Amino acid sequence: MNRPSNIPPKNDPKNEKDRQDQSQRQMRSAISYVLAGLVVLWLFQTFILTPLALRSTEIPYSEFRQKIADNQIVKVMIGESYVTGELKNSTPNATPATIPFRAPFISGSDPDLVPDLQKAGVEYSFERPANPIGGLLLAYVLPLLLFGGFWYFAMRRMRNSAGGGLGGIFGVGRSRATEVKAEDAGATFKDVGGADEAIGELQEIIQFLKTPEKFARLGGHIPKGVMLVGPPGTGKTLLARATAGEAGVPFFETSGAEFVEMFVGVGAARVRDLFEKARQAAPAVIFIDEIDAIGQSRGGAMRIGNNEEREQTLNQLLAEIDGFNTNVERPVIIMAATNRPEVLDQALMRPGRFDRQVTVGNPDLKGRIQILRIHSRAIKLAPDFDLEQAARITPGFSGADLENVMNEAALLAARRNAEAVTLNDFQAALERVVAGLEQKNRVLNVVERRTVAYHEAGHALVAELVPYGDPVSKISIVPRSRGALGYTMQMPTEDRYLLTLEELLDRIAIMLGGRAAEKIIFNRISTGASDDIMRATELARRMVTEYGMSEKLGSVRYAGQQMQYLRGGVGENSELSPETREAIDSEVQRIITEQYERAQALLQAHRTPIERLAEQLLIEETVDGAAVKQALEGDRVVA
Ligand code: ADP
Ligand code: MG
Ligand code: ZN
């Protein structure tokens, strides 16, 4: 696979669209070739294969017999299932003088036919039985050849337009990843706003790309793969590009969807080709966007479509990653992006592969201000345009959404022939864009935002108040992904392998703290706690059935066999008596209820701190652990 690249270097960093268009065009031309082939096949069958005789007038056999008697028949050919021939044209002096006809017939059914023909003096002959091989050739092989020919041309067209040039039919395996030279990577971290944490984590990768000798000297383990995880439009592609840009190395970008093509084996060939190119250009960054298209869990249930192809491609990818970086001096960093980390095959995340995960979330207020500043660099803003105000009215927006709104605002301002873009334009643009976003459930209304803020404050305060809660490191009401409207992160102070009953109970209380806060403050509960409830129930059930932590049921294992090591779940134990099942259920329920009440009691005693914390969250959207301690200052009731 050492052919020189015939791909014209594309300098425009926004050529993704072009590529999509191109492959769509190829797809369309391939389809039109197939269609043309089918049409030709049909024409062939209808007009050439069908014997000429079949296009003559069909008459009943009885009429044919009558015509013999009437001396109307000129010529007859007797076949297996048809009698064909010519009969006199009844109109006098008409041209043609004879008309072709055919009459359905069963060979041997009319022994008088030949004698009668003889008597009438009609010229007759017998059709030779069809040569079976000739028929077969005509009916099947020829069309197949024709079809094959069309397919071949279609493929050639596709390959040529894919820029493959020479290299036979395997040219389809040439990766369409476009190489963008370092100076054209077109982005640096200056173009990325509100992703400071992610940028911090990527700094090390850049250092490593810039000065590999330094790392190689000490013989340290070298990072290989970085997985960027986050919702769409949060700048994952941008960050990967900027990483290459900052390090000043070539950037090879491709997308998982491009590997999953219609021909088995092509994806794998593309992977091989891509890595080969990167190896030659090393140090370099390979970026595989939307890797979930190929990296889906292989063991997962029910997947539709091209499984074998995907699996081959994935295996090839794993093999390439494993065989990489033997040359420490010229590293290649593989970056990938996904917004569905949960479907990825575990094999991808193993050490030595994509062992670094960088989470990119939707930006908080500060981040949104930065992003709006970046995307208004080329836009003329009115002097009184308040970026902070604009950021405040766009909670939950991703970087791409913000760029979109800012752009719409500029268009609106241009339409009214304004000198500069005002906040009013921005607001109008926002309304327009929000109409599309609301269905996507990304923009929370005011009530929902309040609910989420109090819910998260509840988790955080219970975590702080119970004796064995891990300290809170960050609380956020910025929607992180579908489903999760906010989150509270706890940072364990150390790795724990053994947990006591009290610690587990505290965990359950923390999980239920969200709902408890909603109940206490608003006296109503919402669906926002469903994930908490699921996790709490699961933990309580394990306490009862696996850890023997229920006094009533004792230290007995009630859970079934450990399932597949991959899933880590526990199966149903089919040997349990109905009474035992009931006892387990009631124990689980008791644990949950007790902890829910405990969480409510704790929060009830700390209403002021909840309000303080939640209101701060509503303003700042993300706060750190110190804010929780501050909210409790002076009001901590010893439980
Ligand atoms: P993703 O790959 O996460 O879906 P992209 O990187 O493709 O998102 O983002 C699309 C566009 O949105 C970017 O080209 C950029 O203009 C804008 N954008 C997204 N996130 C940011 C950000 N954090 N800072 C600045 N611009 C951003
Ligand atoms: Mg992207
Ligand atoms: Zn919750």
pLDDT value of position 261:
56
* Ion ligand 2: residue ranges with CB closer than 5 A: 237
Q: Exactly one of 456, 518, 587, 621 is catalytic; which is it?
A: 456
CA distance 340 to 229: 8
The label of the residue with tokens 């031309």 reads 29
pLDDT value of position 7:
37
* Number of residues that this document lists for the chain: 639
- CB-based contacts of 110, cutoff 8 Å, min separation 6: 61
pLDDT value of position 92:
67
pLDDT value of position 464:
94
Atom of ligand 1 nearest to the CA of 363: 23
Q: Which fold has domain 365-435?
A: Helicase, Ruva Protein; domain 3 (1.10.8)
> Minimal CA–CA distance to 354: which of 205, 249, 565, 185?
205
Atom of ligand 1 nearest to the CA of 193: 24
CA distance 368 to 494: 34
From 15, 189, 238, give the residue whose CB has the most ligand 1 atoms within 8 Å, as the site to mutate: 238
Question: Are 226 and 263 contacting, i.e. CB atoms less than 8 angstroms apart?
Answer: no
124: which 2 tokens? 């007759």
Q: Ligand 3 center to residue 576 CA distance, Å?
A: 33
- CB-based contacts of 566, cutoff 8 Å, min separation 6: 299, 346
Distances (CA, A) of 90 to 72, 83, 93, 331: 8, 20, 9, 92
From 20, 227, 239, 403, give the residue whose CB has the most ligand 1 atoms within 8 Å, as the site to mutate: 403
The closest ligand to the CA of 400 turns out to be 1
**Ligand 1 pocket at CB < 6 A:** 191-195, 230, 232-238, 337, 371, 374, 399-400, 403
For the question of residue 456 being annotated catalytic, the response is yes
Atom of ligand 1 nearest to the CA of 374: 25
407: which 2 tokens? 């752009």
DSSP string, 243-311: HHHHHT--EEEEEHHHH--SSTTHHHHHHHHHHHHHHHH-SEEEEEESTHHHHB-SS-S---S-HHHHH
Question: Are 532 and 515 contacting, i.e. CB atoms less than 8 angstroms apart?
Answer: yes
pLDDT value of position 78:
85
Q: Ligand 1 center to residue 129 CA distance, Å?
A: 73
Q: Full-prediction pTM beyond 0.95?
A: no
What sections of 529-606 are H helices per DSSP? Answer: 530-545, 578-604
pLDDT value of position 389:
87
Q: Ligand 1 center to residue 238 CA distance, Å?
A: 5
Q: Ligand 3 center to residue 258 CA distance, Å?
A: 38
Atom of ligand 1 nearest to the CA of 337: 2
| CATH class for the region spanning 178-359 | alpha beta
374: which 2 tokens? 């970046």
CA distance 32 to 42: 15
Output the CATH code of domain 446-632: 1.20.58.760
Q: List the residue whose alpha carbon is closest to atom 12 of ligand 1.
A: 400
pLDDT value of position 635:
81
Question: Are 391 and 369 contacting, i.e. CB atoms less than 8 angstroms apart?
Answer: yes
Give 58-129's CATH code, choosing from 3.10.20.740, 1.20.810.10, 3.40.50.880, 3.30.720.210.
3.30.720.210
Atom of ligand 1 nearest to the CA of 192: 24
pLDDT value of position 507:
94
Estimate the crossing angle of helix 446-465 against helix 501-522, to 10 degrees. Answer: 150
Consecutive sets of 10 residues in the chain, 639 residues long: mean pLDDT of each? Answer: 37 45 60 75 68 67 86 83 81 72 82 84 79 70 77 61 40 48 69 89 87 75 83 90 89 77 63 81 86 67 56 78 70 87 80 84 90 92 90 85 92 90 88 62 70 94 93 82 69 73 94 95 89 91 89 83 45 76 93 96 94 93 90 79
Q: List the residue whose alpha carbon is closest to atom 5 of ligand 1.
A: 235
Question: Are 336 and 288 contacting, i.e. CB atoms less than 8 angstroms apart?
Answer: yes
Q: List the residue whose alpha carbon is closest to atom 6 of ligand 1.
A: 235
Backbone angles phi, psi at 633, to 5 degrees: -50, 125
> Minimal CA–CA distance to 519: which of 462, 454, 465, 460?
454
